[in-house]
Amino acid sequence: MTAPVSLVGTVGIGRRIRDAAFRGLLYAAVGVALGTLLVLLVDTVNQGRPKIGMDLYRNFPSARPARAGIQSAIYGSLWVVGLTAVMSLPLGVGTAVYLEEYARRDRWYTRLIELNIQNLAAVPSIVYGILGLAFIARGPLGWGPTIRTASLTLTLVVLPTVIISSREALRAVPPSLRQGAVALGATTWQTVWRQVLPGAAPGISTGSILAVSRALGESAPLLLLGGLAFISFNPPAGPAALESPYTVLPIQVFQYATDARQEFHVIAAATIVVLLAMLLLLNGAAIAIRNRYQRKW
């Protein structure tokens, strides 16, 4: 009986070939993704190099390429994103705590809320922009094209992400911890505040930072909300900034990149590098926090 041996042999060769082919395909996929990214990065850095420096920060957007910079866009971004974080984190974490720790999962309204949050996370941000234009910039609130309008709209954009990532983090805290606390006579509030939240904090922080960095790169809704403007002044320091017009880095990139003059394209590239650096900083912080504080249960 030699047949089984030969059969195994043929199948084996076919498998090995398929295995190698599939492996090659996967490497190719990774290579295409990383290669494209690398080419884009190198090209952008090269193009922007002449303008990367303190002058980019010192100068304001200008109609004259020689003294055009991005200071007002940097401050605009910091204000908008900072306020977005301040509004979205308590709301998002609060919602997550309610859904994970308090809500009764068998109730129809709980399921409705959960379904809606999942759906909202997938809604394109421009739709939030239209919502913001109708109800925040105009309509009931009528805040106009101001920083608070932008922040509140971006809060709506990132809120589902914050909620979902916070829920994941809360779910990763083992139930035994909650049971232990309750067994020792703690109320739900005490259990959540003293046991569950501290345990989930690294996960919540990581998810929140990633959500906030999305807000930093977001431009579509802000195009509708007055971000697309020539602004060569910073928001005032203090609460007055809330009602100030603004521009942000991604939109500044758009403005410089669409200008007919080549000199502005260099500034656009340099601005992209600044934006990337800020995003990397945020994402790096997220990774650092995760590595530093992550716990194995």
- Can you tell me the distance from the alpha carbon of 248 to that of 216, in angstroms, rounded to the nearest whole number? 8
Is 60 an interacting residue with respect to other proteins (CB under 8 A)?
yes
Q: Which is nearer to other proteins, 113 or 242 (CB)?
A: 242
Give residues 193-222 in contact with other proteins (rule: CB under 8 A): 194-195, 197-202, 204-206, 208-209, 212
Query: Quick check: 271 binds other proteins (CB under 8 A)?
Result: no
In the bound state with other proteins, the residue whose beta carbon lies nearer, of 128 and 246, is 246
Inter-CA distances, 233 with 52, 59, 87, 258, Å: 20, 10, 25, 21
- As measured in angstroms, the least distance from the Cβ of 75 to other proteins is 5
> First and final CA of the chain: distance in angstroms?
55
Q: Are 197 and 224 in contact (CB under 8 A)?
A: no
Which of 241, 248, 269, 273 contacts other proteins by CB under 8 A?
Answer: 241
DSSP type of residue 72: H
Rg (CA), the chain: 25
Task: Report d(CA 245, CA 260) in Å as an integer.
Answer: 25
Candidate ranges 18-26, 33-41, 73-81, 115-123; the one touching other proteins (CB under 8 A): 73-81
Burial of 265 (0-12, 13-18, 19+ CB in 10 A): middle
Answer for the pair 149, 157: CB distance below 8 angstroms, yes or no: no
Please give the single-letter amino acid code of residue 102. Y
Nearest distance from C-beta of residue 236 to other proteins, angstroms: 6
Binding mask 4-43 for other proteins (x = CB under 8 A): ----------------------------------------
Residues found near other proteins in the complex (CB under 8 A): 59-60, 62-64, 67, 72, 75, 78-79, 81-82, 85-86, 89, 138, 144-145, 177, 180, 194-195, 197-202, 204-206, 208-209, 212, 226, 228-237, 241, 245, 255, 258, 260-261, 282, 285-286, 289, 292-293
